[in-house]
Every structure is written in structure tokens, then in C-alpha cells.
Structure 1
Amino acid sequence: MPRSLKECKNCLQQFESHYSYCPYCGQKADDQLTLSVLFNNTLSNYFSVDARFFKSFIPLMFKPGYLAKQFVEGRRLLYLHPAQMYLFISIVFFFLFSFISREQAETIDNDLRKNIERSHAYQDSLKQKKQDSIAHQEFSKTVKSHLADLDLNQEEMQTLDSVITKDRKYSSSLFDMDFGQAEVDSMITAGNSDQEIYNFMGMKPDAGFFTKRAYHQALKFFKNKSGGSILQAFYDSVPLAMFILLPIFALILKVFYYRKGRFAHHLVFSFYFFAFLFMVFSMLVIVDLIWPNFPGGIIFLIMLSTFFYLFLGMKRFYGQGYILTFIKSNVVSFLFLSFVIPFAAVIMGLMAFLFY
């Protein structure tokens, strides 16, 4: 009796038709593309939310360095892959943080609109005072021209002249700039071209890239009246900054433990450590959303515990003594907080400047 064969659509290998899965590549034999299959594949391929995550959660939070050590030693299917763990938890964090960032952006926009309205009202009052001053000067000229017709003695004329010529100047040095916000708003309302507004603002024709970009962002700010979008652009650049920070952190570990494995080993430790940090941050965001007045002292202690977590994790993963590990963990933390994070902040600021 001849065998009934089926061809795999993925690897084009033939196998017996009674097999539910291809024995060569593992794809399902009769894999119909439905919404359910597409959705499940997305979760499986990109998030890998399965039993391994829940099995990895407790060691991640309460056994510093354990998951990294297990992965490096070859036990790589029992727990969630470090990169997948980091990716999933970071996505959860940024999703939760979006609620806070959106509220902060709205608060900034509302405060900005109020300040702009007060600024316009103040400038209008200055213009009115300037008009009153002009009218007063015209009046004083008229009065002075008729002083001779009045039957006044010398002392009375001096007194009247001092009252008329009394200083009525109003300082507007606060607005002695190349351009004013009210003028730019008027040009925007009138429909002037961007180039005309740039010229009014003082941008030179031979301005460099960053100068042109600065004027472009300033005009965009005047048009949108949205300071919150700048903050949101800063927050949106955080994932990219973290993508830069993580390998730099692993490189610092490599410098201090250059005989303790390859760079990939230190990167595994960094993935799990940053996943722990994002999990802590996610919990703090949840607490802030539920309890906005959560005691700051407790938050400080929670943040401080991350340094002890790093110390214990390095002790378990690298296997050195407590004193030496304590010194190295503090130096690593100092370098990371003093140099690496400020560098990342500059990157985020630059990203917000260029792309907000």
C-alpha cells in the first residue's frame, strides 16, 4: 500500500499525511491563517507570554542573579529568555507610564495656555499705557503752549510744569527681544509664510542646521502652544536611551569582571537586572495611579533596595567575596548614575529637540 505524502508549505519537505506537524521544521501541517492564528502567533513570537514567565518571575524579583547564572550555565529552556523578559516587562512599564505622562503633558499645556493668556494681557496693558503716555505728551504740549496766556506767577508756573512733565514712562525691558510672542502670534493668525516669520524672528539666511532646527521648533511651539508635546517627545525617547544604556552597563561589568566570561554573559546579567528595574518601576507607577499620596519615604527605600539587589546579584552571578563585590557594585552604580545616565539624558533631550 503506497504511503500518502504531504508537502510542508514552509520547508517544502515531504512527510506522511497523518502527521499533524512537519517533522523537519515543526510547522503545523494544515495551518490555516485566521485572525486567531495571527493573534496567537504575534503573542508567541514577540512576547512569549507562557508558563516560563510566571516560573521566572519569583526568581527575578527575589533571587538576584539566579536567572542569569542559570542561563549562562546552559539551562535556557526552563526560564524565560533574558531579552524576552526585558522586552515584555519594559512594554508593560511604558504602557502603564503612558497614563502618567499623558496627565503631565495635559497639565503643562493647561499651565502654558494660562501663562500665555496672562502674557498677552500684560502686553496689551503695556500698549495701552504707551498710548496713554503719547496722549499725555500731546496734552502737555498743548497746555505748555498756552501757559503764557495764563495769569500765573513764577512759582505757580513751575509747579504746574512739574505736574505736567511728571515721568510717566513704563519699563518694558522684559520684552526687549528680537521678537515678541504676540507679534509672532499675529503673523501666524494673518497667514504669513514660515520663512517670513523666520525672518521676523531673526534667523539669518546662512544659519546652520541646528540653528534652523531651533527656529523651526520655536515656531512649531508658537503654533501648537503645547509644551506637553515636548515632554512627551522626551518620554518617547526613553526606550531608545535604555537600548543604549543596557549594553553600556554590560560593558562596565565586563571591565570589572574581564576574566568572568564573554561580553554576552554580562549582557545576560544586564537584561535580567534591567527587567527587574522595570518591574519595580511598573509597581511604583501602579501604586501612584491607585494611591497618589503614597509616602515618599517608602518609595525612597524601594529605590534604595535596587542597589542591594545589584550587589546580591553580582555576588551570586560572579561568585566573588562580599567585600570586593560590595565595592565593585558601588563603583558600577556610581559610574552608571554619574556618567552613563546623564549621557542618556542628553541623548533623550537631543531626540526631543530634533523630533518633537
Structure 2
Amino acid sequence: MSSTASHLDACENCTTALQGDFCHQCGQSAHSPVRSFGHAIEEVFESFWHLDGRIFRTLRQLLLPGRLAADYLAGHRTRYIPPIRLFVIVAVLTFFVARLAVHVDAGTFVDQTPAPPEVATAFKDARTTEEVEKARLTHVKPLETARDTLPESLRFTMDRAIAKVEKQAAQRNRELSALPAATPSATPAPPPVPVPARPKAYTPVDIDFLPGFANRWLTGQAEIIRLNLPRINERPQLLVNAFFASVPSALFVLVPLFAFLLKVFYLGSGRLYLEHLVVALYSHAFLCVALLGILLLTMVAGQMANVPIAGTLIGVVVAVLLAWMPLYLLLMQRRVYGQSWLVTFLKFTALGWLYFTVVTTATVFLAIASLARI
């Protein structure tokens, strides 16, 4: 690549004579990314990561509770990556790694999930088909009663549990039929109890307080989930991947909500909503970084399964990180808002309980929605 190809005499944007690496008139770089592959790569990293030292300085300050948020709100912004960009980077990276770190073995959930101990014990202790049938009814009847109380679209969960019990009963009957007769009066084992077939379709969702279009949408989602269940049985990792792929999008709703809660809890602080949003972004960025560290440590532990001391040490570090996450948020809240420890603790506890409830609810809905996205 020639010198004239990468270093121009005049700005290509406004034709102003260049006196350095940037145009003093419009600010455009003198290096053209379309004329040099090296500058093209540099521009990608510069625009997305801003790897000019600020990323490392930002992460270093982020690890100190409240230091980064306090500096940014005090006007010291040029030395740090903007909070929204930092949050996007670490959130996308964290949940990308989560998809690599969290694995679920393929196979049918009914076959792979161990039976409840009391069910397995009941069938194991049965010595005749009559005892098998008695044990089957004992465990199936409560499940059938529970299934009847659920909406039609959710009864498949109980159907799977019933099918599991029926399978255990059939297996025990086959074992008994293979045993030699202990006495002449022994009763021959009947044929295996057939597993009830799952219904092919569900009743449309009809929730009274929802408008018609919402019920129709929920009905469609329930049908998609029903059709996806066989695929999840064969490849449960699909559900894990869909869930983690959806989390960053959900965070873009949860983070502004957390900022709104901060605004409500600190009405007398004199801070604007956008200032609370900065605190929320840095808070969630730290949580993502901590979660990323836990995921990476878990992956390392999996590779060192044959070294007991390594697994123990990693387990201790993971436990410390989990304990540090809420403590970090408490210290950050105290440093940014500057209220007394008692007031800060009371607000932190109430805010944490409320937000944890919201996050838990969102996680459940996200898991259900992921069933319809695979």
C-alpha cells in the first residue's frame, strides 16, 4: 500500500488541506478505511470497542463500587466509554459466553429425568401386579386431580408426569413377569399399562380480562410451543440458546425500569432520570461482568474436573463473586447518592426486593417465550 493511498493531502469529505491525522474543518480521519485493510480493521475496533485505553480504564473503575458512575455524573466523561456502549458490549459478550458455557444433554426429558424417590421405591417394593397397580393409582390420582385444575393449554405438564409414573409401572410389571413363579398361586402379570397419548391440540386460550387479539396471540403461542416440545425433547440445548439469546433484549426493558425505580426511591436527590439511568447501566454492566467471570470459571472447572483442589478453589471464588454482587450494589448506591448507611440499606432492601420480583417474573415469561422462538 503506497503512502499516497493511505495518507491524503486533502480531506475527502470537505477538500480542506490536511495538517495531521484528522481534518481540522470537519473532523474526518485522514486514513481511508477503504484503501487500507489495516485501517479498516482499526476502524471496526475503534467504533465498537474503542480500544484506545478507555475500555481498560473503564473496566478498572467499574470494579470499584460506584467510582465509575460518580465520576461520570461529576462530568469526567471523556476518559471513559459511555455507559450505554459499555453495557451493550458486556451484555452481548456475557450471554454469548453463556450459550457456550451452559449445556443440556440431548434426549427425552421423561427418560433422562430421574423418577421421584418415593415413586421409584414404591414400584421397587411391589412384589405382585396388584401391588404395582395400587402404587400406580396412589401416585397417578393426585396428578390427574392437579391436571384437571389447570387450563387445557397447560395440562401437558401433568400429562408428562403421569406418563412417567405409567412408564415406571409398566417397567415393574415387565420385571415381575420375567421372574419365576414363587408359588403355584402366583398371579401372572397383566400386559404393560399403556401410556396415555398426549392430546393433539389444546383448547384456545380464553382469559376474560384480556382482549380478543391477546387471547388469539396466546393461543397461537401455545400451539407453537406444543409443536416445539418434541424438538426440545430431542435437543434441549435449543431452549437454552433461545433463552440466552433473548436476555439482552429483555435487559433493554429492565434497565430503564430499574432507573425509574431509582428515580422513585430517590425523589429528593435532585437527580434527573437520565442520571439514574447512568447508575442503572453501570450497575447492570457490573453484574454482567461478574456473571461473565462466573461462567468462565465454570468452564475452567469443567476442564479441570480431574483436579479436586482446582474445583474447590474455583467454587470458593464463584461463591465470593456471588456474595460480592449484592454488596457491590449496596456500596455503589451509598457512594452515588450519599445518604446515611441506614437509609441506604432500607432503600436498597426495598428496591432490591421489588426489582428481584420483577426480574423473576420476567425470567419466567422469557423462558415461556423462548419455547415459541426455537
Q: Which residue of 1 aligns with 2:286?
A: 276
Structure 1: which 5+ runs fail to align? 131-161, 180-200
Q: Which residue of 1 aligns with 2:272?
A: 262
Q: Which residue of 1 aligns with 2:90?
A: 89
Shift of residue 269 of structure 1? 1.0
Q: Which residue of 1 aligns with 2:144?
A: none
1:326 aligned to 339, 345, 351, which one? 345
Distance in 1 between residues matched to 2:331 and 2:347, nearest whole Å: 11
8 Å Cα contact 1:237/1:351 also seen in 2: no
Instruction: Decide whether aligned partners of structure 1 residues 266 and 202 sit closer, same or farther in structure 2, where only a CA change above 3 A counts.
Output: closer
8 Å Cα contact 1:53/1:80 also seen in 2: yes
Instruction: Decide whether aligned partners of structure 1 residues 346 and 178 sit closer, same or farther in structure 2, where only a CA change above 3 A counts.
Output: closer
Shift of residue 254 of structure 1? 0.7
Task: State, as a whole percentage, how many aligned pairs show the same letter.
Answer: 23
1:305 aligned to 313, 321, 324, which one? 324
User: What secondary structure sits across from 1:307 in the alignment?
Assistant: helix
Q: Which residue of 2 aligns with 1:215?
A: 223
Distance in 2 between residues matched to 1:69 and 1:112, nearest whole Å: 49
Q: Which residue of 2 aligns with 1:53?
A: 55
Instruction: Decide whether aligned partners of structure 1 residues 294 and 274 sit closer, same or farther in structure 2, where only a CA change above 3 A counts.
Output: farther
Shift of residue 178 of structure 1? 4.5
Distance in 2 between residues matched to 1:66 and 1:93, nearest whole Å: 22
Distance in 2 between residues matched to 1:272 and 1:113, nearest whole Å: 42
Instruction: Decide whether aligned partners of structure 1 residues 326 and 168 sit closer, same or farther in structure 2, where only a CA change above 3 A counts.
Output: closer
CA offsets, 1:186-227, max 9 Å, x none?
A: xxxxxxxxxxxxxxx245799944334433333343357222
- The count of corresponding residues between Structure 1 and Structure 2 is 286
User: What secondary structure sits across from 1:77 in the alignment?
Assistant: coil
Distance in 2 between residues matched to 1:50 and 1:17, nearest whole Å: 23
Distance in 1 between residues matched to 2:107 and 2:342, nearest whole Å: 52
CA offsets, 1:24-43, max 9 Å, x none?
A: 22112452514333322222
Q: Which residue of 2 aligns with 1:23?
A: 24
Q: Which residue of 2 aligns with 1:353?
A: 371
* Bigger Rg, which one: 1
Read off the aligned partner of 1:54 and give its amino acid letter: F
Is 1:314–2:314 an aligned residue pair?
A: no
Q: Which residue of 2 aligns with 1:177?
A: 197
Is 1:40–2:61 an aligned residue pair?
A: no
Distance in 1 between residues matched to 2:274 and 2:60, nearest whole Å: 24
Is 1:236–2:255 an aligned residue pair?
A: no
Instruction: Decide whether aligned partners of structure 1 residues 19 and 47 sit closer, same or farther in structure 2, where only a CA change above 3 A counts.
Output: closer
User: What secondary structure sits across from 1:221 in the alignment?
Assistant: helix
8 Å Cα contact 1:249/1:270 also seen in 2: yes
Instruction: Decide whether aligned partners of structure 1 residues 240 and 67 sit closer, same or farther in structure 2, where only a CA change above 3 A counts.
Output: same
Instruction: Decide whether aligned partners of structure 1 residues 71 and 290 sit closer, same or farther in structure 2, where only a CA change above 3 A counts.
Output: same
Distance in 2 between residues matched to 1:206 and 1:269, nearest whole Å: 41
CA offsets, 1:248-286, max 9 Å, x none?
A: 111111111123210111111111111111111122122
Structure 2: which 5+ runs fail to align? 1-7, 114-162, 175-183, 207-215, 303-310
Q: TM-score, normalised by structure 1?
A: 0.68
Read off the aligned partner of 1:27 and give its amino acid letter: Q
Distance in 1 between residues matched to 2:257 and 2:287, nearest whole Å: 16
Distance in 1 between residues matched to 2:286 and 2:368, nearest whole Å: 28
User: What secondary structure sits across from 2:63 in the alignment?
Assistant: helix
Instruction: Decide whether aligned partners of structure 1 residues 29 and 223 sit closer, same or farther in structure 2, where only a CA change above 3 A counts.
Output: closer
Shift of residue 53 of structure 1? 1.9
Is 1:252–2:257 an aligned residue pair?
A: no
Shift of residue 353 of structure 1? 2.5
Read off the aligned partner of 2:99 and give its amino acid letter: S
Distance in 1 between residues matched to 2:228 and 2:201, nearest whole Å: 16
CA offsets, 1:304-345, max 9 Å, x none?
A: 2222211211111111111111211122211111x2212321
Read off the aligned partner of 1:248 and give its amino acid letter: L
8 Å Cα contact 1:53/1:79 also seen in 2: yes
Instruction: Decide whether aligned partners of structure 1 residues 219 and 79 sit closer, same or farther in structure 2, where only a CA change above 3 A counts.
Output: closer
CA RMSD, aligned part only?
Answer: 3.7
Read off the aligned partner of 2:38 and give its amino acid letter: S
Bigger relative CO (Cα 8 Å, ≥ 6 apart): 1
Instruction: Decide whether aligned partners of structure 1 residues 212 and 242 sit closer, same or farther in structure 2, where only a CA change above 3 A counts.
Output: closer
Read off the aligned partner of 2:291 and give its amino acid letter: F
Read off the aligned partner of 1:283 and give its amino acid letter: G
Read off the aligned partner of 1:348 and give its amino acid letter: L
1:288 aligned to 294, 298, 313, which one? 298
8 Å Cα contact 1:221/1:227 also seen in 2: no
CA offsets, 1:30-88, max 9 Å, x none?
A: 525143333222221122222112222232112x1121111112111022222222222
Read off the aligned partner of 2:219 and give its amino acid letter: T
Distance in 1 between residues matched to 2:339 and 2:289, nearest whole Å: 27
Answer with 320-329 or 286-295: which moved more: 286-295
8 Å Cα contact 1:96/1:285 also seen in 2: yes
